[in-house]
Amino acid sequence: MEIRYIRDMELQAQKAFIEENRLLLQKRFGHPPRAMVKSFGCAQNVNDGEKLAGMLQQMGCSFTESVEEADIAIYNTCAVRENAEQKVFGIIGQATHQKASRREMLIGVCGCMAQQEHVSEKIRKSFPGVDLVFGTHVLHTLPELLHRLLTDEGKKRHRVFETPVCDGVIAEGLPTLREDGVRAGLPIMYGCNNFCTYCVVPLVRGRERSRRSADILAEARQLIADGYKEITLLGQNVNSYGKDLQDDMSFPELLEAVGNLPGDFWVRFMTSHPRDCTRELIDVIARTPKICKHIHLPVQSGSDRVLQAMNRHYTRGQYLDIVRYAREKIPGVSFTSDIIVGFPGETYEEFLETVSLIKEVGYSSLFTFIYSPREGTRAAKMDDPIPAAEKSRWFQQLLEEQKACGMRFYEEEVGSVRRVLCEGKGKLKNGILEGHPVSEGQTVLMGRTERGMVVDFIGAPALIGQFVDVQITTAANWALAGILQTGKE
Ligand code: 5AD
Ligand code: SF4
pLDDT in tens, 425-477: 987 655 456 566 677 778 899 999 999 999 999 999 999 999 999 999 999 88
Q: Does 366 contact ligand 1 (Cβ within 6 A)? A: no
- Residue 482: its pLDDT value, please? 93
Identity at 117, one-letter amino acid code? E
What pLDDT band is residue 167 in, cutting at 50, 70 and 90? confident
- pLDDT over 80 (residue 480): yes
Task: Identify the residue whose C-alpha is closest to ligand 2 atom 4.
Answer: 42
CA of 71 to the centre of ligand 2 (A): 26
Rounded to the nearest integer, the mean pLDDT of the chain is: 93
Residue type at 402?
Q
**Ligand 2, residues 46, 192, 205, 338: which to mutate, most atoms within 8 A of Cβ?**
205
- The confidence score (pLDDT) of residue 141 equals 96
CATH topology of domain 180-292: Transcription Regulator spoIIAA (3.30.750)
Mean pLDDT of 38-63: 97
* pLDDT digits 0-9 by tens, 152-161: 765 656 899 9
Which residue's alpha carbon is nearest to atom 2 within ligand 1? Answer: 371
Confidence of residue 63 (pLDDT cuts 50, 70, 90): very high
Q: Is the CB of 338 under 6 A from ligand 1?
A: yes
Quick one: pLDDT at residue 156?
58
Domain map of the chain by residue range?
A: 4-162, 180-292, 298-412, 417-484
Section 340-347 average pLDDT: 98
CA 235 – CA 258 distance, rounded (Å): 15
What is the pLDDT averaged over residues 250-258?
98
Q: In the chain, what's the furthest Cα-to-Cα distance?
A: 69
Q: How far is the CA of 177 from the centre of ligand 1 (A)?
A: 28
6 C-alpha to center of ligand 2: Å? 22
pLDDT above 70 covers a percentage of the chain that reads: 95
Q: What confidence category does residue 3 fall into, taking pLDDT thresholds of 50, 70 and 90?
A: low
Please name the residue whose Cα sits nearest to atom 18 of ligand 1: 338
Q: Report the 10 Å Cβ neighbour count for 70.
A: 24
Q: To test ligand 2's pocket by mutation, which of 51, 116, 204 has the most ligand atoms within 8 angstroms of CB?
A: 204
User: What is the structure's pLDDT at 489?
Assistant: 47
Relative to the CA of 45, which ligand 2 atom is closest? Answer: 6
- Ligand 1 pocket test, candidate residues 81, 297, 310, 370, most atoms within 8 A of CB: 81
Section 250-272 average pLDDT:
97
Q: Which fold has domain 4-162?
A: Rossmann fold (3.40.50)
- CA of 111 from ligand 2 middle (Å) equals 8
Q: How far is the CA of 44 from the centre of ligand 2 (A)?
A: 7
Q: What is the pLDDT at residue 478?
A: 86
Q: Find the ligand nearest to 187 CA.
A: 2
42 Cα–ligand 2 center, Å: 5
Q: Do domains 180-292 and 298-412 have the same CATH topology?
A: yes
28 lines ligand 1 (CB under 6 A): no
Question: What CATH architecture does domain 298-412 belong to?
Answer: 2-Layer Sandwich (3.30)
Asked if residue 371 has its Cβ within 6 Å of ligand 1, the reply is yes
Asked if residue 372 has its Cβ within 6 Å of ligand 1, the reply is yes
Ligand 2 binding site (Cβ under 6 Å of any ligand atom): 41-42, 44-45, 78-80, 111-112, 200-201, 204-205
Q: Report yes or no: 285 and 260 within 8 Å, Cβ to Cβ.
A: no
